[in-house]
């Protein structure tokens, strides 16, 4: 299934993407869940599947406004330097354990929405990534059981303000609307092996990053297990798995995103996340 969060008829909703439409689930599930995160926390995936089989789309995709697929995650945990190719281009050592940092929910934006270049910087960089959405929470999750805690997978952009990142990772990664997430979650039953995906990032139609996810230094199960050791994972938590080589600040000359640019992240088996870069007002 493809699960999405969006605005329809002026209301924030969640539902299932079916063809070129969406089946809205808020009312069909008895208004028991206000958001997709709530539905995951309520263990409603099986019920959602039944509703999807029995129902028909009630809005066309062209009629909705996309939200970040989880608009209100409790945590956004991001792996830095998790492709050997990216470690090489940045001159960094390969981390022995996942090197994690935290993003705020205010950094998220949705598919076909605006990604905001901060007014205080022109060093605005792209990082296309595979993101994991937790479906079942837990603590000290064994690597061998980690995928059992995954609801599904989506696309993510870890938009980075590089001059502020030199001050600290926290400041460089937490400007508002710099983290597109979506367009939807593809549930884990359709992606049984997240190491067999291909990620491509395009800026204005030009390919700037491409890698297979089997080149991750630390695998999805390893990252999930590691994160659960230092914090309890909760349904709806988002874990970004890192970016491959090709980022803008390691090019000569650097390739920075500019207002008017269109950025896309496509992951096989999931789909394409697309945003427009705008200047902060």
Q: What is the mean pLDDT of residues 73-85?
A: 93
- Examine the fold and report which residue of 66, 95, 112 is the final residue of a domain before the chain moves on: 66
Do residues 219 and 80 lie in contact, with contact meaning Cβ atoms separated by under 8 Å?
no
Same domain? 120 vs 225? yes
Residue 271 belongs to some domain of the structure: yes
The pTM is what?
0.96
Residue 107 belongs to some domain of the structure: yes
Do residues 1 and 190 lie in contact, with contact meaning Cβ atoms separated by under 8 Å?
yes
Backbone φ, ψ for residue 102 (5° rounding): -120, 135
Same domain? 179 vs 271? yes
Number of domain units in the chain = 2
Same domain? 185 vs 235? yes
Same domain? 35 vs 154? no
Residue tagged 């028991």 (tokens): 32
Same domain? 156 vs 48? no
Residue 201 belongs to some domain of the structure: yes
Q: What is the pLDDT of residue 134?
A: 98
Same domain? 111 vs 245? yes
Residues 6 or more apart whose CB falls under 8 angstroms from that of 127 comprise 157, 158, 159, 160, 201, 243, 247
- What burial class does residue 161 get, using C-beta atoms within 10 Å of its C-beta: 0-12 exposed, 13-18 middle, 19+ buried? buried
Residue burial 255-279, b: 16+ Cβ < 10 Å; e: rest: bbbeeebebbbbbeebbebbbebee
Residue 71 belongs to some domain of the structure: no
Q: What is the pLDDT of residue 118?
A: 98
Domain at 232, CATH number: 3.90.850.10
Quick one: pLDDT band at residue 217, thresholds 50, 70, 90?
A: very high
Same domain? 104 vs 219? yes
Other Cβ atoms closer than 10 A to 232: 14
Do residues 43 and 89 lie in contact, with contact meaning Cβ atoms separated by under 8 Å?
no
Same domain? 62 vs 82? no
Do residues 227 and 193 lie in contact, with contact meaning Cβ atoms separated by under 8 Å?
no
Same domain? 200 vs 93? yes
Quick one: pLDDT band at residue 271, thresholds 50, 70, 90?
A: very high
Residue 180 belongs to some domain of the structure: yes
Residue 245 belongs to some domain of the structure: yes
Could you read off the pLDDT of 105-136 as tens digits, one per residue? 999 999 999 999 999 999 999 999 999 999 99
Same domain? 133 vs 203? yes
Q: Residue 184: CA atoms inside 13 Å, Cβ hemisphere, count?
A: 21
Same domain? 124 vs 157? yes
* Closest by CA position to 273, among listed 109, 160, 125: 109
Same domain? 48 vs 85? no
SS3 content of the chain, % helix, strand, coil (to 5): 25, 35, 40
* Closest by CA position to 126, among listed 53, 74, 204: 204
Percentage of the chain modeled with pLDDT above 90: 94
Residue 229 belongs to some domain of the structure: yes
Other Cβ atoms closer than 10 A to 19: 9
Could you read off the pLDDT of 25-76 as tens digits, one per residue? 999 999 999 999 999 999 999 999 999 998 899 999 999 999 999 999 999 9
Residue burial 23-47, b: 16+ Cβ < 10 Å; e: rest: bbbbebbeeebebbbbbbbeebbeb
Residue tagged 């208004």 (tokens): 31
- Beta 76-80 vs 238-240: how paired, if at all? parallel
Domain extent at residue 159: 76-279
């Amino acid at each position: 299934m493809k699960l999405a969060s969006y605005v329809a008829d002026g209301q924030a909703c969640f539902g299932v993407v079916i063809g070129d439409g969406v089946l809205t689930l808020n009312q069909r599930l008895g208004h028991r869940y206000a958001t997709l995160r709530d539905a995951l926390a309520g263990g409603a995936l099986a019920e959602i599947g039944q509703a999807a089989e029995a129902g028909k789309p009630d809005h066309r995709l062209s009629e909705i406004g996309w939200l970040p697929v989880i608009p209100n995650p409790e945590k956004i945990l991001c792996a830095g330097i998790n492709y050997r190719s990216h470690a090489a281009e940045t001159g960094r050592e390969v981390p022995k354990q996942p090197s994690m940092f935290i993003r705020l929910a205010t950094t998220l934006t949705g598919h076909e929405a605006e990604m905001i270049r901060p007014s205080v910087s022109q060093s605005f960089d792209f990082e296309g990534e595979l993101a994991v959405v937790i479906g079942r929470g837990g603590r000290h999750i064994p690597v061998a059981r980690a995928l059992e805690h995954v609801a599904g997978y989506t696309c993510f952009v870890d938009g980075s303000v590089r001059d502020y990142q030199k001050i600290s990772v926290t400041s460089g990664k937490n400007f508002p609307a710099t983290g597109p997430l979506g367009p939807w979650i593809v549930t884990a039953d359709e992606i049984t092996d997240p190491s067999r995906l291909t990620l491509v990032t395009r800026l204005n139609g030009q390919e700037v990053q491409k890698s297979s996810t089997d080149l991750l230094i630390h695998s999805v199960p390893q990252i999930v297990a590691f994160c659960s050791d230092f914090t309890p994972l909760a349904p709806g938590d988002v874990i970004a798995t890192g970016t491959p080589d090709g980022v803008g600040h390691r090019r000569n000359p650097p390739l920075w995103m500019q207002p008017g640019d269109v950025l896309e992240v496509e992951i096989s088996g999931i789909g394409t996340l697309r945003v427009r870069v705008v200047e902060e007002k």
